[in-house]
Amino acid sequence: MSDTPISALPGDPPGTVRLSRPLQRGTLDEEGRKRLHEIWETEPGWRGWLSTVDHKTIGLRYLVTAFLFLVIGGVEALIMRIQLAQPSETVLTPGQYDQLFTMHGLTMIFLYAMPVLSGFSNYLWPLVFGARDMVFPRLNALSYWTYLFAGVFLYLSFPLGQGANDGWFNYVPQSSLTYNPGPNIDVYALGMVLLGVSTTAGAANFVVTFIRMRAAGMSINRVPVLVWGTLTISAANLLAVPSVSLAFFMLWMDRRIGTHFFDVTGGGGRALMWQHLFWVFAHPWVYVVVLPAMGIVSDALPVFCRRPLVGYGAVAISTVVTMVIGFVVWIHHMFATGIPPLALAFFGSASMIISIPSAVGTFAWIATIWLGRPVWKVPFFFFAGFVLLFVIGGVSGVMTAAVPLDWQLTDTYFIVAHLHYVLIGINVFPVVGGVYYWFPKFTGKMMSERLGRVAFWLMFVGFNVGFFPMHILGLLGMPRRIYTYAPDMGWSTANLITSIGSFIFAFGILVFLIDVAYSLKRGPAAGNNPWDAGSLEWSIPSPPPPYNFAVLPIVGSRHPLWETRMEDEADKPEEARSHLDDGYLLGQGKEALGTTAVSGKPYVILKMPGDSYAPFVLGLAAALFFGALLLQWWVFGGIVLAVCVAAIIGWMWPRRELVQREPIPAREG
């Protein structure tokens, strides 16, 4: 092979060259690691803070920001539970309750649940893939900055009493200008369009990273289930997010430009079209915020059971099938809107069928525990507790798939209970368990077992005390979305219990956050692989160096760190096993290895971009542009739009890359 790069082929990502030189195998000495560190390290100080494209930094930023929004949304929930703890309370006015209720919903669903999973995936994907970064590092940074500015945008008017106030579902005509003339809905509509930019950019990055950035030998039947979860929801987001972005932008145009997309009073619009456009996104979104969390459990739970996951192939396929079926059940949320009976029958059946692939994962987790030798560490408690909550949430979901029963339950607190068992039980518990599991990788330190167990039991008991009585309230006829109730309705005791349980759960979250803060300062050193796990992220130092892998590993099995102790791997010939310390060397500049989509064979050498201010500038300018639309400052909007164009030009402007003229020194393997 020639050492001269040849032209990229059509369809290759920007900066791609074909394998234009033989890949060197060997190990790397200290001098070589030092030079790699210099190439990949982010500049210290505020310049590096604004310009970094390191996936690990971006992943941690996602996690911290998402947990901040979790705390904000949790405080909003506690204020609402104080209002509902007793009948005829006057802590909140109806208008304040509407804003609090809406901001709580959009915060938990859009600003916490999905971004926190993006944080895990951004941090872990290159590590479990044996790669050095995501395939589009600058796009990765843009997705975070846009998410952060969208969250700030959505909250800007809330302290002024002008926050979104029509529920996170934002039904028209209640959200039309006639019935809601303030800026509340405009902020929500434009903020959601901006957030959609972040989600779409991140989804595209995940999909292409899966296709091109896996380790040599990591065929698609060897990738972790966490990857299948995030890949599936990323592909779904590329299809679903445009729907809701279009719906919110059409609503904003109805309100401020005079269009009539949803106006039925004289413009020929259809109010029901809003629900179709919203729920064709929002029901798949339910799986978007649970499938990666289920992937966390599928990958981490077997570590504490001391055996591989039972039914890996079935779990991976069921993950994909769940998302596919999720796209044909959006009318599950519209059974009470006058849909024709044939459509009710079809979508009701699909809503029941979707429980089958979901049950596959449940049986796999239970079988893994049953056939393994569980080690009772804090992450195991959270993952095992999740399995029970998943069953409760799934069963209540199947109940509402029956159309006649849904007609009775759809606007009651039974649905509130189901929603929280899904969005908290199936998201928060795996997420907190995942933090305990990967905290050693993030920081190099262990979290406290004692505080962790206290946090788990407070959260588990508080959650069930807080949200299970909501099922009973729903069966007793308590409507959703009410800010108070009369003393003679028979709901007082259950509401008081729910409020008490909510505070216990919140106290458990507080203990967890205290544990995180304490462990950051005084946690014991973790070592590289404190859990004796089998995946690639545990084969490198904790926390990882800027370049992740000095030697790009060659993978020969699904559990490369467990090969020597697994019967089906121990008898493999040497050439078919994983090679973690004598894999491929890449060091002529900031380079990464690309592989084929199915088999994981080395395919291309990717010239990775350096740090850049362009993602930050573009994200900030985009937020300011939406602010100009909100305030109808057209001149200012034109100025910041020009800044966006300039940032994109700066992003793509060709520059001389840092290239090592001589190969990094290595000991031949």
Domain membership of residue 573 as a residue range? 24-44+533-611
Note the pLDDT tens digit of each residue in 302-354. 999 999 999 999 999 999 999 999 888 888 888 888 888 888 888 888 888 88
- Backbone torsions φ then ψ of 162, nearest 5 degrees: -125, 30
Distance CA 617, CA 47 (A): 13
Tokens of 8: 């990229």
CB 228 within 8 A of CB 319: yes
Residue 486 carries which side chain, given as an amino acid letter?
A: A
What was the pLDDT predicted at 572?
66
What was the pLDDT predicted at 445?
94
H/E segment holding residue 9: none
What was the pLDDT predicted at 658?
45
Residue 604 within any structural domain of the chain: yes
Residue 549 within any structural domain of the chain: yes
Residue 598 within any structural domain of the chain: yes
What was the pLDDT predicted at 668?
40
Tokens of 630: 């909100």
Q: How many domains does the chain have?
A: 1
Distance CA 75, CA 49 (A): 29
Distances (CA, A) of 664 to 78, 249, 540, 589, 660: 57, 52, 19, 10, 8
Note the pLDDT tens digit of each residue in 93-145. 999 999 999 999 999 999 999 999 999 999 999 999 999 999 999 999 999 99
Residue 545 within any structural domain of the chain: yes
SS3 15: coil
What was the pLDDT predicted at 131?
92
Residue 125 within any structural domain of the chain: no
Note the pLDDT tens digit of each residue in 451-492. 999 999 999 999 999 999 999 999 999 999 999 999 999 999
Distance CA 380, CA 226 (A): 17
CA angle (71, 76, 81) in 5-degree steps: 120
What residues in the chain have per-residue pLDDT under 70? 1-21, 566-576, 655-669
Residue 553 within any structural domain of the chain: yes
Residue 581 within any structural domain of the chain: yes
